[in-house]
Amino acid sequence: MSERWATFDCYGTLADWVGGMTAAVAPYAGARTPELMDAYYAAELEVEHEQPTARYREILALSLERAAARVGVEVPRDAIGATWGDMPIFEDTRPALQALQADGWKLAILTNCDDALIALTVEKMGIAFEDIVTAEQAGSYKPAPGHWEAFARRHPDVGVHIHVAESYVHDHVATHALGLPSVWIDRRRTGQDDSIVTAHLHALKALPETLARLAASAA
């Protein structure tokens, strides 16, 4: 049987990025935390585009600095990076990934994080991934195709490859352009157009069953 690979975005999909980020800045931003987080989302996309080879911890600091200036709050520029290891893992992550491994899937992470920070999260997750491609390694940030290109170079003989992610902008727009099957873990129920994804879920519980069905249809 040819290898079946499920690649994952990590933050927002496997780890609670919103919860971890919010906890990091709330002591400084207080009631303006939601406003700061909205400004941060926009700022990070800008900074990643402007500095595609910068280490992610620096991206975090520059993006937070820019967002805080726009909102008019004072937050230490390393507030997020310094608390990265505290980011919670979603409760459904480990059971779903363990079920996939038991079913013979090989698992990889394709993340905009850097090598040092993703190591903290993977250790907390307690899952042995067959590969991890970071922005530090790819030399670019998603939605640029560098992560998928790096993965393809490392694993040229993949039989089935399905990408699983929460981020519509960073991941699903890119996988649609690449013609790669994808499963959207729409935890925040954003209401965005799901015609560009192969399957649409709101949590990971049904992921093993969904991937088995997609792999069977691709056979």
Is 23 within 8 Å of 86 (Cβ atoms)? yes
Distances (CA, A) of 6 to 34, 97, 107, 110, 125: 33, 10, 5, 10, 17
Residue 160 — φ and ψ, nearest 5°? -120, 130
Respond yes or no: is residue 186 known to be catalytic.
Answer: no
How big is the CA angle at 208 (ends 206 and 210), to the nearest 5 degrees? 65
Catalytic one among 9, 16, 171, 186? Answer: 9
Cα dihedral: 42, 145, 173, 152 (round 10): -140
Tell me the catalytic residues: 9
